[in-house]
């Protein structure tokens, strides 16, 4: 993957929470700004639960993932979107979201991925 600094990358996290796919997506999104790249994290499908103010327990690595996501939003100022339809499908649409997470429709997620220099799906 070759890119110029400042290009927009999207990391689409949609993996199950009982495996480390979602954690890997957050870590990739956290690492990209270190190379001067702009990145946006999109949470969809099962990974949309990470957008919750009180996410489910994910095992021994929950605390680390929560800290990494908070760092991504707060320190790196990476935009984080969560797909509304995914939240609704999981019965989570009415739950409070983590500060700094914006809700986007499926059409908006598709547009964000389509307009990015690259979209990495995990």
Question: Cα-flanking dihedrals φ and ψ of residue 42, to 5°?
Answer: -120, 130
Average the pLDDT over 47-69 and give the result. Answer: 78
Question: Cα-flanking dihedrals φ and ψ of residue 89, to 5°?
Answer: -65, -30
Average the pLDDT over 39-64 and give the result. Answer: 82
User: For residue 108, what are the contacts with CB-CB under 8 A and spacing of at least 6?
Assistant: 81
- Three-class SS state of 86: helix
Residue-by-residue DSSP string for 20-82: THHHHHHHHHHHGGGGT-EEEEEE-GGGGGGGBSSPPP-STTHHHHHHHHHHHHHTS---EEE
Joined tokens for residue 73: 């939003």
Residue 7 pLDDT grade (very low, low, confident, very high; cuts 50, 70, 90): low
- Show the domains of the chain with their CATH numbers: 8-121 (3.40.1260.10)
Residue 23 pLDDT grade (very low, low, confident, very high; cuts 50, 70, 90): confident
Average the pLDDT over 44-51 and give the result. Answer: 91
pTM of the model: 0.89
Average the pLDDT over 62-82 and give the result. Answer: 86
């Amino acid at each position: 993957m070759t890119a110029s600094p400042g290009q927009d990358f999207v990391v689409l996290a949609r993996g199950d929470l009982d495996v480390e796919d979602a954690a890997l997506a957050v870590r990739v999104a956290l690492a990209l700004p270190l190379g001067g790249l702009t990145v946006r994290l999109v949470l969809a499908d099962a990974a949309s639960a990470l957008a919750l103010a009180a996410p489910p327990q994910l095992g021994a690595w929950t605390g680390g993932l929560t800290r990494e996501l908070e760092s991504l939003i707060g320190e790196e100022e990476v935009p984080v979107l969560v797909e509304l339809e995914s939240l609704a499908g999981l019965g989570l649409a009415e739950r409070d979201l983590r500060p700094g997470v914006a809700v986007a429709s499926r059409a908006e997620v598709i547009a964000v991925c389509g307009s990015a220099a690259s979209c990495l799906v995990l």
